[in-house]
Chains A and B, each alone.
Chain A
Amino acid sequence: MTHDTDGPGRTIDRRTLLMLMAATGGGAAMSGLGSFPAFAQDPTIELENPKYNRLYNEISGYYFKDPVWVKETATRLTWPKAGEKVPEIGVIIPTNQPDILDAFRKFATDGEQIGIKYNIQQMSPARWLETINKHHHGDIEVHPSILRPERVDPAEWLVSRAYGPDRRNYGEWVNEQYDALIEAQTKESDHEKRLKIVKDAQKVLAEDLYINQLGWGPSIIEAYNAADWEGVVKGRGFGLASFNLFHTYTRMKSKTGKKSARVGMSALLETTNIIAASNNMRSVGRMIYDRFAYFDENLKVIPWAIESWQRVDERTWDMKLRGGMEFHDGKPVTVHDLQFSLDFLRKYERGIFWTANRFLESNEIVDESKGVVRVRFKEPYGQFETYFLQLNVILPRHIWQNIMAEQNVGDDPRRLRIEQPIGSGPFRFGRHRKDTELQLIANKKHFAAPNIDELWVVVTPTLDGLLGRMESQELDFIENSSIFLTPSQAKQLERAKHVKIERTEDINWYHGVVRISWMPWRDYEFRRAWHHATDREFLVKVPWEGAGRVPLANTFLVEGSPWYNPNLPPIPKFDLKLAREILKEAGYSWASDGRLVYPSPDDSKFRQRIVKVCKEGYTWGGLKMLA
């Protein structure tokens, strides 16, 4: 993008813009099609702390460089006139989350009582993702936590969803004290000290009323065929049938002599290239390729392909490779494979592996006979065990070393075609038919060799099909990235004699973040009232059928997570009367149609709150109101 949207008073007519777009822009520029007029006379949006300018100016098509964002944001950074109503609150809910839609219907009914009007819309999950990525989602962004091993690390949520300079901080919250804590915890390699900082950060988050935990859940309720299988492993937060924490599949035993188990999934891998893979293949791929370390069922870090690791200093670790491992083609796993994997992933990859490895400075073999590799990071590194070791995998050097040139994919390993992945993991990639089935054959030579002989992944696109096949014993498990059962579904399945229902302690949550940089959310008192007007119990009791917890505090790291802080300020109780009082106290009034009206423009307390955004005692570094 060469054209500059910062220049004040600069006008670009439609034709020039089209030419500019033709010369410079693809999709990103095109998304601005609907908004030329505003584009031409955009006021300058500024940040309180120029330090954050980098993010807002960094990526073409985002923030300041996205005319749609600029237009939407500018309207909400304008001081309300006397008697102006609080605008409609825009919420977009993905179509695959009907429970949240049901909850918001209730919130909207309650909202009417305090004069808040919602505008609830639905979008396909993919469109929704696109919309929130570009920050086009309106006032409230809602989403569930989907647990993956790397997300046990607190940084995944604390950083990505609330850290000022992060693009996925959907409400554009910039609390400088919070950001300082986040930067500190990233660099703190001592676990106890890091835990303390993480707890402090959670306190700031909870006090500033940025995120709104709508429910802790849904609970993990699963059904499996207990007539044939025993010894399943319930992993905290993951459940028993998850491929993300797959201990059940390696440790379970057959009761009947059956050696082949069937797992239902609603959709299977999109690609068998682990580097390009998103959700499904990320987990299935790590059953085929060995990760460095793993979690046990209590979320304690356990060694996996790396047998042990030694902290040398705050930037350096020695990792010792487990001895006697073999790839599925019979070749031994050596320290050179380990070194090669790190080099490869660091050199080429720019996605999830990149996140895990971008701080990596060097890796060298220090003791070839004992299989020790020393890794050194660019700066003190806090996420070594729970992120670096969890995400990285061992690639077979003899297959991968020339693969880039052979397949002629330039320097983009995401384009590699790997039909039959070969790793060293507990399962070997067997027969695969797209959208139908995948056979995972047990690697009996593995250090965590499965008791079963094979695992069939059966693709069943509908929930109805999954449940029906579970009832008719055609499935032994349902992989739980597809679904957690509701209590009524569990009750229905339980009637089949062979089915056993298990409930695992979860650390799930569902939250909403508000566009705190916008009016009216900039007003702490408005946020406080809104929190009191959120009926969290309804979500848990009705749509979730009681399978969940009413949140105790506004945090991502809920009770049960190893990083939970039990001393957070309690969540504001649902109390519409109180909400109304808070608003009244803060200078808000109500129009004749019942809609909420902003306090008078010369209410100095109000003005001060809007400028400061954060709660008393914290510093706002984000977007400024327009002059």
Chain B
Amino acid sequence: MTDIRAVRTDLSRIRRRGPLARLGEAVLRNLANLKVLLRYPSAMVGLALMTVFIFVAVFAPLIAPYGPFEVTYTAERAVIRLSAPTTNNLFGTTNQGMDVFSQLVWGSRVALMVGLLSALGSVLLGTLIGLFSGYFGGWIDEVLMRATDVAFGIPFLPFAMVVISIAQPSLGLVILLVIFFLWRTTARVIRSQVLSLKTRPFVWAAKAAGAGHMKILFLHIAPNVLPLSFLYVAIGVQTGVMLEAALSFLGFGDPHVQSWGIMLNAAFQAGAMRTAWWWVLPPGLALSAFVLSVFMITRAYEELLNPRLRSI
């Protein structure tokens, strides 16, 4: 309970600060809403899992005993190659003598980074496009929606493979591609939401009071679509991580970072799938668990937004 109260006092302070702060207030209100999620057991599990991932990612340098590409040696300077789990190498080692546990830990950073950046980027882009398109209508709507149509027609995975093989594999490029792929859904959903919102009385009232377009759009309409945007952030995190893993597995990942997809790719390329279970299962399960945790949170949040699903 203390949290909520803290948030509220925050809100009251913000309220006095003017328009921009009011948008911030809406964001915080939505965050506070998240608290309701705790009523859903699956969401609790999801949140708990996510907390673990975040903790691991933040403290990766302290948790991981080795670097992501560090070769581990025995006392006699022999490479510890394809070793099953031991106390020294908790999850065993790869064919290059790298510590699987450390790679897994470092990989959580990449997962979170890819997930968050691609989700935030795509939702920001999608929401803005949806807002403008829905609110202004006319040729702006036409242009933006045709762009969305085009984006919907582009097959993501093949397109990403083409772009990466033409340019060079890098994490930034992967994130950009995922953003490019994800914004389209958000844009459409937000637009239809805005279409219905702009006929509501409070928008009229604002207009009557002489508010400018931007003010109406960002202070009156935007706060009302935020919950939906939040939903798409969650969906984006999940999709982004999955796509990065798929691309990495196909060999289009950034060779300079150690992600779970890249670990799976390395194990697959080394032909170690059938023997080195300790190398294959951790990244595969981590990936599944990460996606699952986001998914659980998303489902609960979705039901929260759509009360009909909650009824009975």
Contact = CB atoms under 8 A, between A and B. Distances in A.
Q: Do A and B come from one complex?
A: yes
B81 A488 contact: yes
Contacts of B268: 462-464
Contacts of B269: 98, 463
A372 to B, nearest CB: 51
Contacts of B82: 488
A340 B79 CA distance: 58
Contacts of B148: none
Nearest to A101: B255
Given A121-B168, A122-B169, A543 B96 contact: yes
Given A102-B96, A545-B81, A545-B95, A464 B168 contact: no
B277 interface: no
SS class of chain B's interface: helix, strand, loop or mixed?
A: loop
A542 B96 contact: yes
Contacts of A488: 81-82, 95, 270, 272
A179 B165 CA distance: 37
Categorize the interface residue count of chain A. Answer: 20 to 34
Interface in B130-166: 164-166
A428 B95 CA distance: 41
Interface residues of B, number: 25
Contacts of B266: 98
A105 B69 contact: yes
B271 interface: yes
B308 interface: no
A106 to B, nearest CB: 8
B71 interface: yes
A542 B271 contact: no
Interface string B67-91: 0010100000001011000000000
A492 B267 CA distance: 14
B311 interface: no
Interface in B154-185: 164-166, 168-169
Interface string A109-130: 0000000000011111011000
B270 to A, nearest CB: 7
A467 interface: yes
Given A123-B168, A126-B165, A95 B274 contact: no
A486 interface: yes
Interface in A431-464: 462-464
A471 interface: yes
A566 interface: no
Contacts of A486: 95, 270
A464 B268 CA distance: 6
Interface in B76-127: 79, 81-82, 95-97
A121 to B, nearest CB: 6
Nearest to B256: A120
A541 to B, nearest CB: 7
Contacts of B12: none
Nearest to A468: B274
Nearest to B166: A127
Interface string B271-282: 111110000000
A466 B269 CA distance: 11
Interface of A: 95-96, 98, 101-102, 105, 120-124, 126-127, 462-464, 466-468, 471, 486, 488-489, 492, 541-543, 545
13 contacts: A96-B251, A123-B168, A124-B165, A463-B270, A468-B273, A471-B274, A488-B82, A489-B270, A489-B271, A492-B271, A492-B274, A542-B71, A542-B97
The 7 closest A-B pairs by CB, nearest first: A124-B165, A467-B271, A463-B271, A122-B255, A492-B275, A464-B273, A489-B271
Given A126-B165, A492-B275, 4 more contacts: A124-B164, A463-B271, A542-B96, A542-B97
